Structure 1
Amino acid sequence: MKVFRPSVSLIAVLFGTFFGGMTACAQPVDGGEPATPAQQTQRTQQAQPAEQAQKTQQPQLPRVQPATMESVFPAYSYKNLNTAAGGPATIDLATYIGKTPLALYYWIPGHARSDEVLKQVQSLVAAAGGPDKLTLIAVTLPKPGLEASVVQTRATEHGVTVPVLDDSEFRIGQQLRVQSVPNLTLIDGKGMLRLSNGASLKQVIGYKLTVEAAVQRLAESGKLGTYGFLDYYAAVEELVGQPAPDFKAPLISTSVEQRWSSMIQKEKVNLLIFWSVDCPHCRKTMPQISEWFKGNGTGFNVVSAAFVKNDAVRTKTKEYCEANSFSFPTLVDSDQKVAALYSVTSTPTILVVRGDGVIDSVLLTTDDSFPTKMREIRERLM
């Protein structure tokens, strides 16, 4: 399964920055775990010459040790990229660490899910008493196309009223082991690191305790138990029970634009599969799903949406679909816009959609039990 929770190399891909001695790869090994040195070496050998040239031109960033839970978070000074909101040009975290509860939010401006959750966190902190109770500071890593001026503009457009730290050396990112966004970190009133990798306010971190409740508790008391670096969270599951968001996308085969809602078949169980031709697990499972559908597709309507970031990937995806004689239509998800609409952060992700357009359930991967699961779902919904 291609899960966006690998080593720091994924953030390198997201921001267009590469770390010395590390291959930037957006396809972690099966299971989403960090690649081994041997696997990284193999990927390096398989990389395209243009990609290799790009890597040699990228600056190498200094290594920083990860912060330790239940220890005082290391404080440094950073440029503030959101001075239009009224803050100082430079933010010294020592001003806050150990003096007030602090929430750090790692943000990629323009990333739909990241933008959305920042707004939610900002509203939550304001409702909890604002800076008098809990200080919220956003953090980002500028890159070509996302320079400081662009960050400032997008912060203004999104109504961001808190400082946005310039983490150009990815110091905070490494301290907090940032592997994906959204990413919320909570530091208590004594400066102790208590929680990191919060991806959603609805994310459950303990017995009936959510990230939202943890933020409220920290604001009220300045204290919080230690919850550590949270596990990967699939925000797409929050859509279960809701109408499937509608969208338009072209078919990979003909480039003719289709509307998702018109592809839903009321008398069948509908499957919307998000995948990528560059995902090793997808390359293994998509042909299997196609063969399963050919022999067991009664009562099912399958549509796939493939991540396509450029013309080269589009051609590669089309050729792959044709070579495997896919038995279902494939839509082009340019720049993962549809995936962002569904908060999809791993591939393959399969959404089960009822005939009335409501999302019934989500499968985050496939295995040998896939046919059995599909049979059970069909019996339950039809």
Structure 2
Amino acid sequence: MNKRLFSVIIISVVIVSLIAAYVWSIGKERGKDVTPPGAAVKEETGVQTGTEVGQRAPDFTLTATGGKAVSLSSFRGRPVVLNFWATWCPPCREEMPAIQSFYEKRGREIQVLAVNLTASEKSAAHVKDFLKAGGYTFPVLLDTHNSTAQEYLVRAIPTTFLIDREGIIRDIHTGPMTVEMLEKAVKKISDQ
């Protein structure tokens, strides 16, 4: 390699490094997070927040069908089955009786949260009618802008996240679940 080409490469690397350091320092000075999009941020505990197994489940607050605001973090200390679904989804409708049966059997020890992907207040009323008609009594939260589903990177429904007492995702299941599948899956988040 000739000396001129080598010099150009070295100068280019130095310039790129200086630009990266400058951008990082500006972000730090302004107190902004300069973590690249999609990267998880470490908490004081060393556990990263994210949507993969082994990461702390991102907190959210949604309105339940009864009108009460519910936050995931309010269930810390209790295992959570977090299910994303929609009334128009045949596999979701297929698994609703299993979720109800599981809730009736284990709902005191394991929190069930079913997040409905709802587009409007009108569809929220439809969700309430659907639950009443099916006799479903487990807690349903309304993700009216699908923002929580997007934050959890839900690509297909139903998708179920199994979250342990510390708020760590221990398993993710895509597709309808049976009572037997739920019982087997919760062993990863429960010591019972």
Tell me whether 1:257 sits opposite 2:66 in the alignment. no
How far apart, in 2, do the equivalents of 1:289 and 1:243 lie? 23
Q: What's the counterpart of residue 240 of structure 1?
A: 53
The aligned counterpart of 1:271 is 81
The answer on 1:357 being equivalent to 2:162 is no
Q: Corresponding residue for 1:339?
A: 149
Corresponding residue for residue 105 of structure 2: 295
Picking from 114, 124, 134, the partner of 1:314 is 124
Matched residue type, 1:252 = T
377 and 367 in structure 1: CA distance in 2 versus 1, 3 angstrom threshold: closer
Overall identity of the aligned pairs, in %: 24
Residue 246 (structure 1) shift: 0.7
User: Is 2:180 aligned against 1:371?
Assistant: yes
Structure 2 CA distance for partners of 1:311 and 1:240, relative to 1, 3 Å: same
Aligned partner of residue 361 in structure 1, secondary structure: strand
Contact in 2 for aligned 1:269/1:378 (Cα 8 Å)? no
CA–CA distance in structure 2, aligned partners of residues 278 and 330 of structure 1: 15
Q: 1:376 to 1:339 in 2, by over 3 A?
A: closer
Change (3 A) 1:256 1:379: closer
Amino acid at match of 1:377: V
Letter in 1 for 2:69: E
Taking the aligned partners of 1:379 and 1:243, their CA distance within structure 2 comes to 15
CA distance in 1, matches of 2:175, 2:166: 24
Give the conservation status (yes or no) of the 8 Å contact 1:265–1:301: no
- Aligned twin of 2:95: 285
TM-score of the pair, normalised by structure 1: 0.35
Secondary structure of 2:176's counterpart equals coil
Shift of 1:374: 2.3
Deviation sequence 1:344-380 (CA, Å, 0-9, x none): 1111100000000111110101244x51452353266
* 8 Å CA contact retained: 1:299, 1:378: no
* Cα gap change, 1:289 to 1:360, in 2 (>3 Å): same
Q: For residue 186 of structure 2, what is the amino acid of its counterpart? A: I
Name the structure where helix makes up a greater proportion of residues. Answer: 2
Q: How well do the aligned residues superpose, as a CA RMSD in angstroms?
A: 2.7
Figure out how many residues of one structure are paired with residues of the other and give that number: 146
Q: Which runs of 5+ in 2 are unaligned?
A: 1-12, 14-37, 39-49
- The structure showing larger relative contact order (alpha-carbon pairs under 8 Å, at least 6 residues apart) is 2
| TM-score computed with the length of structure 2 as normaliser | 0.66
- Name the SS for the 1:347 alignment partner: coil
CA distance change for structure 1 residues 338 and 295 in 2, over 3 Å: closer, same or farther?
A: same
Structure 1 residues 378, 297: closer, same or farther in 2, change over 3 A?
farther
- Given that 2:84 and 2:149 are in contact with CA atoms closer than 8 Å, whether structure 1 keeps it comes out as yes
Asked whether the 8 Å contact 2:171–2:188 carries over to 1, the reply is no
- Counterpart-to-counterpart distance in 1, 2:61 and 2:189: 29
